Amino acid sequence: MTYTYRLTVLALLLSAAACSAESTAPVASRTEAPPAVPAPLSGSDRAAAPGIAQKFTDAANRGDSQGVAATFAEQARFDSVGRIFPSRQAIMSRFIDPEVIGVGGRYEITGTRWAGDRYVVDYRFTTRSGGEEIFYYAFLIRDGLIRDVLGRYR
């Protein structure tokens, strides 16, 4: 092999390796902006959070769509395992109504805790057809309403 040929092959291999390394880097979502950094949790919001999370749970278990909606701020955001619902209307119409209330879903609280400013509720969720999932919701409560939820499987 000629020296020029070897250099060409080496250059191609290095170029391919560089492209490969670039393509494995995580890509940020271009469709959803990250949530704004909220103000620190007030004492009244900390005190209210368990009751609001319970109100959400009770309304969902009754199949009360309006009651669930009333726990969310209009511009609330819900991240259900990476599926982002950017408003109360989207949360209800694209998630809660079809995937919780519509399937006869029932939340059973299995634990609670604080994670920074978020009140975290562990759930066992069952449907009337026998489906079951284990997950948690990390609620961010402000002014008596749910502003943001992170939902993740356990």
Annotate 67-90 with b (16+ C-beta within 10 A) or e (fewer): ebbebbbeebbbbbeeeebbbbee
Rounded to 5, what percent of the chain is helix, strand, coil? 40, 35, 30
The band of 15, judged by pLDDT with boundaries at 50, 70 and 90, is very low
Residue type (1 letter), 128: R
Residue 138 token pair: 């990390």
**Span 95-141, pLDDT tens digits:** 999 999 999 999 999 999 999 999 999 999 999 999 999 999 999 99
Mean pLDDT along residues 30-42: 64
Query: What letter does residue 25 receive in the DSSP assignment?
Result: S
User: Which phi and psi (to 5°) does residue 12 adopt?
Assistant: -65, -40
Q: Which residue would you say has higher pLDDT here, 57 or 23? A: 57
Per-residue pLDDT, 39? 74
Average pLDDT of span 46-56: 98
Has residue 46 got a pLDDT over 60? Answer: yes
| pLDDT reading at 30 higher than 90 | no
pTM of the full structure: 0.76
pLDDT of residue 87 exceeding 60:
yes
pLDDT at 40: 83
